[in-house]
Structure 1
Amino acid sequence: MIYAFDTYYYENFAKTVCIAFRNWDSEKEDAIYSENMAITSDYESGAFYKRELPCILSLLKKIDLTENDIIIVDGYVTLDNSGKIGLGGHLYHSLNNKIPVVGIAKNGFAAEDKKRREIFRGESKTPLFITSQGIDVDEITIAVENMAGSYRIPTLLKKLDQLTRDNEN
């Protein structure tokens, strides 16, 4: 199963949603998980993971992961060639390096990273940025390119973003 996570921050709480689907080219999800929780830390430039990682780890308690599963985060897994890691890298380590984590970021990151790939989907002139740990980034890049949807953001990831921004439970 592939589990895609995203978190949106409201004034008093964070809403984390996970969409589960079987295949990279799936058009519909198999399950949706959602959880609201208190914001545990303020935004800290360069340490985004400190804010979002607790939200993802909390929601993961509702999911029975297996070593064949893959997790997608909205952001980066690796950040540069020196080994600095982003949210996805911290998540990968939190899961004892057993569950592959893929980062799909919408915005560029200035530092060079030989493990980062760019893809252009649909008619978009703006790339998505792909990073990973525990799974080959080139394999994942092809999988993300082939995700359902004809626009820059794959259909299920667009739905995920919309669900996190829906203030209803």
Structure 2
Amino acid sequence: MKLIIDVAYEGNQAKVVGGFFENWFDDSLVKQSIKIVDNVQDYVSGEFYKRELPCILEFLDEVNLKEIELLIIDGFIYLDDERKKGLGAYLYDSLAEKIPIIGAAKSRFYNNTKYVQEIFRGESKKPLYISAIGIELPEASLLIDKMFGKFRLPSLIKQVDTETKNKW
């Protein structure tokens, strides 16, 4: 089973949405779970992981991680070409480096070219920025590129992203 995780914030709460799927070519999730997290830390520029990582880990406390073969996050593994850790690297470390992580971000992070691959899906002129840890970057990029959906954002990722924006 693979898991897509996204987080949205409102005040000092976070809504963590997890979308579970089996096949890269699926057009719908096997299941979706939601966790509301209270007392979320404030955002600090350059240290986003300090806000998001605790929320994701609280969500994952309720998941049988032995069933998860890979995680997809909205974010980056590394923030720059010097391998400054981003959310994905910290999450990978928190999971004892046992679950590969793919970052699929919608916008570029400054000075980050070596550990990111741009993919263009559908007819979009804007790329997705793919990064990876525990799996080779070219393989991760190909997997995201081949996911179901004809738009920039694969359908399964879009479903999770949309749910984070729904009223809670």
TM-score, L = length of structure 2: 0.95
Alignment of 1:53 with 2:46, yes or no, is: no
**Contact kept? 1:5, 1:72, Cα under 8 Å:** yes
Structure 1 residue ranges without an equivalent (≥5)? none
- Give the equivalent residue in structure 2 for 1:93: 93
- Tell me the secondary structure at the aligned position of residue 36 of structure 2: strand
Instruction: Tell me, in whole angstroms, the C-alpha distance in 1 between the residues paired with 2:112 and 2:167.
Output: 37
- Give the equivalent residue in structure 1 for 2:166: 166
Instruction: Tell me, in whole angstroms, the C-alpha distance in 2 between the residues paired with 1:67 and 1:86.
Output: 25
Structure 2 residue ranges without an equivalent (≥5)? none
Instruction: Tell me, in whole angstroms, the C-alpha distance in 2 between the residues paired with 1:82 and 1:12.
Output: 32
- Give the equivalent residue in structure 1 for 2:31: 31
Equivalent residue runs for 1:4-153 within 5 Å: 4-66=4-66, 69-153=69-153
Bigger shift: 107-116 or 145-154? 107-116
Letter in 1 for 2:23: N
- Tell me the secondary structure at the aligned position of residue 88 of structure 1: helix
Q: How many aligned positions are there?
A: 168
What stretches of structure 1 move > 2 A for 4+ residues in a row?
Answer: none
Instruction: Tell me, in whole angstroms, the C-alpha distance in 1 between the residues paired with 2:89 and 2:5.
Output: 14
Instruction: Tell me, in whole angstroms, the C-alpha distance in 2 between the residues paired with 1:16 and 1:71.
Output: 14
> Pairwise CA RMSD of aligned residues?
1.3
Q: CA offsets per residue over residues 17-75 of structure 1, 9 Å max, x none?
A: 00000122211111111100113210100000000101100010111112761001101
Instruction: Tell me, in whole angstroms, the C-alpha distance in 1 between the residues paired with 2:11 and 2:78.
Output: 29
Instruction: Tell me, in whole angstroms, the C-alpha distance in 1 between the residues paired with 2:54 and 2:12.
Output: 16
Letter in 2 for 1:166: N
